[in-house]
Amino acid sequence: MAEPVAVLAIIIDAAVGWPAPLYARIGHPVGGFARMIGWAETRWNRPTLSGTVRRAAGVVTIVALIAVAVGVALFATSLARLVFGPIAWIAIGVMAAPGLAIRSLYDHVVPVARALEAGDLEAARARVAMIVGRDVATLDEAGVARAAIESLAESVCDGVVAPLFWLLFAGLPGLWAYKAINTADSLIGHREARWRAFGWAAARTDDVANLIPARLSGVLLCVAGWGGWRTMVRDARNHASPNAGWPEAAMAGALGLRLAGPIAYDGIVTAKPYIGDGSTDVSATDLRAALGIYRRACILLLVIAGVLAWRL
């Protein structure tokens, strides 16, 4: 039987996540990646530098991030095996758990549903603003619920499936290399003029890293949601991202809703295609249903990881 590292990581993250007292005391491991990116961006993404230089600097930044992540993870894995011997997998599972976001994602979305159920639109807007980058000040209840569902669906890949995929494929180094790439994409992988050149490598590397996990996430949500296959296959490419559309379209199809569409960033409304065929009048009930699909998807992942550990 293979070492059930992934099983242990899922259980730890789902049970306790990354506790707030621990975060307050030492922060989170991805904070180290963020500081490295900030250091590089300050020095190598100056407006006075040419686009070519900034793009090359972005490539160097991503390579350095991955090298650090892989190097630290390899050292930690080797040290665990040296110190703990046959039970080193337990230590490795503990070190893998912070790379997942099962509990964190759930804990961020549930308060949005509770605020909507209580009729407190301002609180709901404040809560959803913590998980989305769009303008939320003018969102009505349906807009808040849709934003939360879209973020939940997309984060199934980034926060759950992709880290587990790379953990199973390449061990602890694979998981933390993915987290480094994904952190860089979230911070600098944007299309705005400031980031376009420097963040190019981050965005493209993240696209490649999520290529398989995004599609697996869509399949997982269709299975957990007992449907949505047709919408996923048809509308996945309606999203600007080559990957994020797969879980979002799967969730839209499973819920029978219409997601995406026009969206505002920094006061500018961008016309984007819709995903799904249903109503855009989304409610807290729909958000709760999405959370139910998410819970079932996480249980399925635990079962799959257990089967792989037992069979391999």
List per-residue pLDDT tens for the chain, 312 residues long.
467 999 999 999 999 999 888 888 888 999 999 999 999 999 999 999 999 999 999 999 999 999 999 999 999 999 999 999 999 999 999 999 999 999 999 999 999 999 999 999 999 999 999 998 888 888 999 999 999 999 999 999 999 999 999 999 999 999 999 999 999 999 999 888 899 999 999 999 999 999 999 999 999 999 999 999 999 999 999 998 999 999 999 999 999 999 988 776 666 667 789 999 988 899 999 999 999 999 999 999 999 999 998 877
276 φ/ψ angles, rounded to the nearest 5 degrees: 105, 170
Q: Which residues partner with 259 through β-bridges?
A: 275
Q: Alpha-carbon distance 171 to 220, whole Å?
A: 22
Question: What pLDDT score does 26 carry?
Answer: 87
Tell me the CA distances in angstroms from 300 to 10, 101, 164, 233, one per residue in order: 11, 16, 13, 21
Tokens read off for 5:
């590292």
Contact 116, 141 (CB under 8 A): yes
Would you say 80 and 91 are in contact if contact means Cβ atoms under 8 Å apart?
yes
C-alpha–C-alpha distance, residues 311 and 309, integer Å: 6
Tokens, residue 230: 């047709």
Backbone torsions φ then ψ of 210, nearest 5 degrees: -100, 0
Please tell me the predicted confidence (pLDDT) of residue 270: 72
Q: For the chain, state the CA radius of gyration.
A: 20
Contact yes or no for 2/308 (Cβ under 8 A):
yes
- Residue 280 backbone dihedrals phi, psi, to 5 degrees: -95, 0
What domain range includes position 188? 5-311
Token couple for 240: 């600007």
Rounded CA-CA distance 28/283 in Å is 33
* CA nearest to 10, candidates 103, 91, 87: 103
User: Is the separation of the CB atoms in 161 and 225 below 8 Å?
Assistant: no
pLDDT at 119: 96
Looking at the 3D structure of the chain, how many domains does it have? 1
SS3 57: helix
CA distance 200 to 227: 35
* pLDDT value, residue 1: 47
